[in-house]
């Protein structure tokens, strides 16, 4: 990306993700971290040790006219207030996900961005994950025919991490954590309306917030997606399992271990031989006869036109549209509400999706800036 200017960024919340952002932005030509601010003295000191200037207060950050961009990496419930204050001071915003805890809060935040001509971009960074981009490539290119079932899972065995993620008032729980990413990936990839959702939220660990969930999404174009986040899984299932009309594919993990197995259309059709299965016999579940299938490597990943931070820089310079647009972010928040409702009521939830056919992936409820 060719840019001559470096836009100054201050990171608010110098915890796990805030400090990681510092490293990510160092690799970006268009942005420069000029300081940080954290309410915890220990994190202020950590920032200074890492070579940053630590502002004494949030007010000091907002009053500093050289600061163009505020990056919010605090617990979830204060994203909105911190962002609104900063946009009223004329700063552009990169905000961590989930951007807010409700659609109404995000609409309010978005209105302030428009009133103040500020760019507001949510860090939905997992649209750049290579495992996801391999699945997106298979979906777009029909590598194994039209995909009709997509199973996306992340499994851990460490419970809910940290402190605030255990609490409802902070926007804790796994649906508002990993769930945001997995649902965002699906809506970004599948250009179709979600017609219904069922879900089950897990409270196995005794927290007031979910320690995981399973959701099943039906799309108008016939695709079914199963999304699962687990924190009590001592044996993990594959990151992705997908079925297409011509084959199946699996991606085991983030190192992209996986394979495709396809129907061999050249092979002569041979009836499978029955096999012993448990105490019975089966032809249905017998492995395909020799030569009936072909095993292939996964395709190369779809290539995003630019990185998140390059795209953000281009958006504030007015030379690109955001890859993560705010109508899409609102659509994900609506879907999260539907997953919560389906879990709470044990019912099928319908008629919530903001998707409008013909408008591409973006929902129409916001006028996207």
Contacts with ligand NAD, residue ranges (CB under 6 A): 12-18, 37-40, 43, 73-76, 78, 96-97, 123, 125, 162, 164, 177
Q: Which is nearer to ligand NAD, 101 or 147 (CB)?
A: 101
| Least gap, CB of 341 to ligand NAD (angstroms) | 22
Phi, psi of 105 (to 5 degrees): -60, -40
Q: Which is nearer to ligand NAD, 99 or 112 (CB)?
A: 99
Q: In angstroms, rounded to a whole number, what is the distance separating the alpha carbons of residues 341 and 317? A: 40
Q: Which is nearer to ligand NAD, 13 or 230 (CB)?
A: 13
| Least gap, CB of 273 to ligand NAD (angstroms) | 49
Strands (E), the chain: 7-12, 31-37, 69-72, 92-95, 120-122, 147-155, 194-202, 212-219, 224-230, 240-244, 247-251, 258-263, 275-277, 280-282, 293-296, 349-350
| Least gap, CB of 36 to ligand NAD (angstroms) | 9
Cα–Cα nearest to 249, from 185, 290, 297 = 297
Three-state DSSP at 47 gives helix
| Least gap, CB of 112 to ligand NAD (angstroms) | 18
| Least gap, CB of 80 to ligand NAD (angstroms) | 11
Q: In angstroms, rounded to a whole number, what is the distance separating the alpha carbons of residues 2 and 310? A: 9
Q: Which is nearer to ligand NAD, 160 or 354 (CB)?
A: 160
| Least gap, CB of 272 to ligand NAD (angstroms) | 44
Q: In angstroms, rounded to a whole number, what is the distance separating the alpha carbons of residues 354 and 331? A: 6
Q: Which is nearer to ligand NAD, 78 or 320 (CB)?
A: 78
| Least gap, CB of 102 to ligand NAD (angstroms) | 15
Cα–Cα nearest to 179, from 131, 220, 231, 224 = 231
Q: Which is nearer to ligand NAD, 39 or 277 (CB)?
A: 39
Q: Which is nearer to ligand NAD, 74 or 202 (CB)?
A: 74
Residue with the CB atom nearest ligand NAD in the bound state: 15
Q: Which is nearer to ligand NAD, 143 or 185 (CB)?
A: 185
| Least gap, CB of 3 to ligand NAD (angstroms) | 23
Cβ within 8 Å of residue 329, ≥6 positions away: 99, 106, 122, 124, 184
- As given in the structure block, the two tokens for residue 143 are 């590598």
| Least gap, CB of 43 to ligand NAD (angstroms) | 4
CB 20 within 8 A of CB 27: no
Per DSSP, what are the bridge partners of residue 282?
275
CA distances from 321 to 27, 84, 99, 241, 325 (A): 22, 22, 19, 32, 8
Q: Which is nearer to ligand NAD, 12 or 329 (CB)?
A: 12
Where are the alpha helices (H) located in the chain, listed in sequence order? 16-26, 41-49, 58-63, 79-88, 103-115, 130-141, 178-189, 308-316, 326-345
């Amino acid at each position: 990306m060719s840019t001559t200017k470096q836009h100054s960024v201050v990171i608010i919340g110098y915890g796990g993700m805030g400090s990681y952002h510092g490293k990510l932005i160092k690799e970006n030509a268009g942005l420069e971290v000029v300081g940080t601010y954290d309410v915890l003295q220990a994190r202020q000191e950590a920032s200074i040790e890492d070579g940053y200037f630590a502002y004494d207060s949030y007010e000091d950050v907002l009053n500093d006219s050289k600061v163009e961009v505020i990056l919010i990496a605090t617990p979830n419930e204060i994203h909105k207030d911190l962002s609104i204050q900063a946009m009223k001071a004329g700063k552009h915003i990169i905000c961590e996900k989930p951007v807010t805890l409700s659609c109404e809060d995000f609409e309010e935040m978005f209105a302030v961005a428009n009133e103040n001509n500020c760019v507001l971009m949510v860090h939905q960074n997992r649209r750049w994950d290579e495992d996801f981009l391999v699945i997106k490539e298979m979906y777009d290119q029909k590598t194994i025919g039209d995909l009709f079932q997509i199973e996306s899972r992340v499994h851990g065995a460490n419970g809910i991490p940290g402190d605030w993620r255990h609490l409802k008032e902070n926007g804790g729980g796994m649906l508002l954590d990993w769930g945001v990413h997995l649902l965002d990936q699906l809506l970004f990839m599948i250009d179709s309306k979600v017609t219904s959702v069922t879900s089950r939220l897990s409270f196995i660990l005794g927290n007031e917030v979910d320690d995981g969930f399973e959701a099943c999404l039906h799309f108008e174009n016939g695709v079914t997606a199963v999304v699962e986040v687990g924190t009590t899984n001592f044996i993990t299932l594959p990151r992705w399992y997908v079925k297409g009309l011509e084959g199946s594919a699996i991606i085991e993990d983030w190192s992209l271990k996986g394979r495709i197995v396809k129907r061999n259309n050249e092979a002569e059709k041979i009836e499978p031989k029955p096999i012993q299965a448990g105490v019975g016999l089966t032809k249905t579940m017998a492995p395909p006869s020799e030569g009936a299938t072909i095993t292939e490597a996964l395709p190369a990943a779809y290539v995003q036109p630019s990185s998140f931070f390059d795209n953000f820089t281009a958006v504030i310079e007015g030379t690109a549209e955001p890859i993560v647009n705010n109508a899409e972010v609102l659509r994900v928040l609506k879907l999260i509400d539907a997953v919560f409702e389906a879990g709470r009521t044990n019912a099928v939830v319908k008629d919530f999706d903001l998707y409008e056919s013909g408008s591409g992936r973006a929902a129409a409820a916001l006028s996207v800036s």
